[in-house]
Structure 1
C-alpha cells in the first residue's frame, strides 16, 4: 500500500508515523526462510543477510516496513545506496547493519490481515516479540501529527505518514487511508539519456529525466548535481542500456539534447528538487540515487 501526497490530516481517526528515508521492503517468513522483496517485486534477500534473523519472530508472517541505515541517529538514503544495488560482504554487514523499521503486518500464521483495520493490524504487530531481534524495530506511532511533523523537520528527517485507524490494506495502491507529508520534495524519474561530462567522454555529466504520462515518457529536465561520486558513476554505467533514439515523446530543446546518448527507459532514479516550472521541468534537481525498488511504470509525477 502506498501513501498519497497531501496536507496533514487531523482528528482522532488518524495516527502518525515517521516517514523513513530508506527502502521499502516486504519481509515474507515461511518454512524457516525469509524472502525480501522491493516495491518492484525484485528479490533483494541477498542484499540484507542480517534480516535472516526474522525467522525467529514467527514461523509464518508477512511484514511491511522500510530498511534504513542511520547516520548520526538519522536515516541516510545515501548511506544505503550500496546495499540497495547488490549483495554485500559479511564484513560490511558486521560494521554497518541495517535496521528494518516495521510498520505493518499483513499475514500471521497463515491468516491474511489485509481486510482488518489498521488499528487491529497494529495491535497484532505490537504483540509480536520484535525486541528479541536486534535488526528489527517497530516504527513508533503518535497521535499528535503537527508535533511529529515539527520534530522531523528539526531533525532533518523526511516527513510524516498519517494513517486512518479504520483503513484496510490495499497492496500496491494509493488511497486516502495513508497520507504523506514531506519536508523536501523528491521525484522518481525514468532516465531516457545522458550527456557526457565536459572533458571526459566516458563519465556521465547529466542525466536526461522523464516522467511517464498517458502518452509516453515526458521530459522533466536534466540533472547534473550529485553525479560526481564514483559510486553514482559506476551504478549508472552498469545499468544504462544504449538505445538507437530518444525515448521521449517530445523533441528535446537543443541545450538539453546536445551530445546526448539515448538509453532504454528502464532505470528509475530519485532526485530532490525545489518545485516544477510551468513547462513541466524540475527546478534545481539533485541526484539522490538509483531506485532499483521501482519499475518505470510505477513512476508518477508528484506535484
Structure 2
C-alpha cells in the first residue's frame, strides 16, 4: 500500500522551511556556457552557499534555506572587521590538496562547532557579491557595479575571507577547472540585477559532473535483520508528489554517515512516493518522512528517469525539502 498523492505535498514541504524575513540567495540556472563581452565568469566552488549579514557588531550566517548557521562557522565572526553594516553573498569552502572538498566541509554543516575546532582547520569564505553596504540596498544595481563595490572593500583585513576571482574567458576557465578536478563555472551577465531566491538567465552554471539533491523516502537494510542502512530510496518533488528516482548505496558504509542518517530519518508506515515502486525495490524496504535532504553524484539518467550510478556525497542540511528540484 502506498501513501495517497496530495496536491498540498509541496506546500507541506515549504511549510517546513525557516521563515525569516531576510534575503534568499539568487540561484544559477543550469545551461550551456555562454560567450560574449556581456558575460563574466567565476569558479563554481564546491562548498556551502552562505549569506553573511554584518550589523550592530555581530555577524549572522544563513544558508540557502535561511537556516541560521552562525555557530557552525565561528571563525567567520571576524567578518565584523570588514564594515559596520554589510550583507555578503558567497560560498564557504574547505580545501584538500588545494581543491575545495565537499566531503571535508560536510562535517561542518551538521551543527555548532567549538571555536578551537574551527581554528584548527578554518574554512574560507569565497565572497562573490555584496547586497547591502552601510544601509544601502544594492540588489537592483547591475552585477558589474556590485562587483566594483565589493572590490573596494578591504577584504584582506579578514584572513578567512577571499574574493572569488572574475575571468573574461569562460571557455579557458571551464577547461582549467576540469583539469584541476573542480566543480565547474558560473557565468554572470554584467548588467544583471540580483533576484533573491530565484533562478534567471543572467546567472548560468556549467558543471563537469552531475549532482542531484534528493529527498530520502525510504531505506533498505544491508542484509535481512540488520539495522545498518544499505541503500537509501530517493525522490524529487514533481508536481503534487514525490517522484521516485532510484536508490543509492555507495558511500553509506561509514559509521558517522550511519549515525547522521539515523538521527534524521523518521519512520512512517507507507511509502511517500507518488507512484508504485518496482516490486524488487519495495520488498524489504522501510519508509520514512521525506524531509531529509542528501546530495548524490551520478553518471546521468536512465530512460526510466532513474539516477545512473549514484554515489552518496553527504547530507544537505543547508537545503530545505521545498528547495529540492530536478537538476537538468
TM-score (norm: length of structure 1): 0.99
Unaligned runs of 5+ in 2: 1-25
Find the counterpart in structure 2 of residue 285 from structure 1.
310
Q: Deviations over 1:177-199 (max 9, x none)?
A: 10000000000101101111126
Could you tell me how far apart the structure 2 residues matched to 1:291 and 1:75 are? 16
Could you tell me how far apart the structure 1 residues matched to 2:225 and 2:157 are? 52
| Aligned match for 1:253, one of 263, 274, 278 | 278
CA contact (8 A) 2:74 2:114 kept: no
Find the counterpart in structure 1 of residue 298 from structure 2.
273
Matched, 1:154 2:179: yes
> C-alpha displacement at 1:242, in angstroms?
1.0
**RCO (CA 8 Å, sep 6+): is it higher in 1 or 2?**
2
Could you tell me how far apart the structure 1 residues matched to 2:227 and 2:134 are? 53
Task: Indicate the SS of the match to 1:36.
Answer: strand
Find the counterpart in structure 2 of residue 88 from structure 1.
113
Matched, 1:174 2:196: no
Aligned length: 303
Find the counterpart in structure 2 of residue 44 from structure 1.
69
| Aligned match for 1:115, one of 135, 140, 151 | 140
Matched, 1:54 2:79: yes
Task: Indicate the SS of the match to 1:26.
Answer: strand
Could you tell me how far apart the structure 2 residues matched to 1:205 and 1:141 are? 43
Could you tell me how far apart the structure 2 residues matched to 1:89 and 1:53 are? 15
> C-alpha displacement at 1:91, in angstroms?
3.0
Matched, 1:34 2:91: no
Matched, 1:213 2:242: no
CA contact (8 A) 2:89 2:128 kept: yes
Matched, 1:69 2:94: yes
Find the counterpart in structure 2 of residue 187 from structure 1.
212
Find the counterpart in structure 2 of residue 204 from structure 1.
229
Task: Indicate the SS of the match to 1:201.
Answer: coil
Q: Deviations over 1:31-83 (max 9, x none)?
A: 00000000011000000000000001000000000000000110000001110
CA contact (8 A) 2:75 2:115 kept: no
User: What is the correspondence of 1:228-267 to structure 2 with a 5 Å cutoff?
Assistant: 228-267=253-292
Matched, 1:11 2:36: yes
Could you tell me how far apart the structure 2 residues matched to 1:258 and 1:138 are? 51
> C-alpha displacement at 1:244, in angstroms?
1.9
Q: Deviations over 1:203-229 (max 9, x none)?
A: 110000001111210000000000011
- Give me the CA root mean square deviation: 0.9
Could you tell me how far apart the structure 1 residues matched to 2:148 and 2:225 are? 56
> C-alpha displacement at 1:200, in angstroms?
5.8
Unaligned runs of 5+ in 1: none
How has the CA–CA distance of structure 1 residues 57 and 288 changed in structure 2, closer, same or farther, with 3 Å as cutoff? same
| Aligned match for 1:164, one of 189, 193, 199 | 189
User: What is the correspondence of 1:136-151 to structure 2 with a 5 Å cutoff?
Assistant: 136-151=161-176
Could you tell me how far apart the structure 2 residues matched to 1:124 and 1:230 are? 46
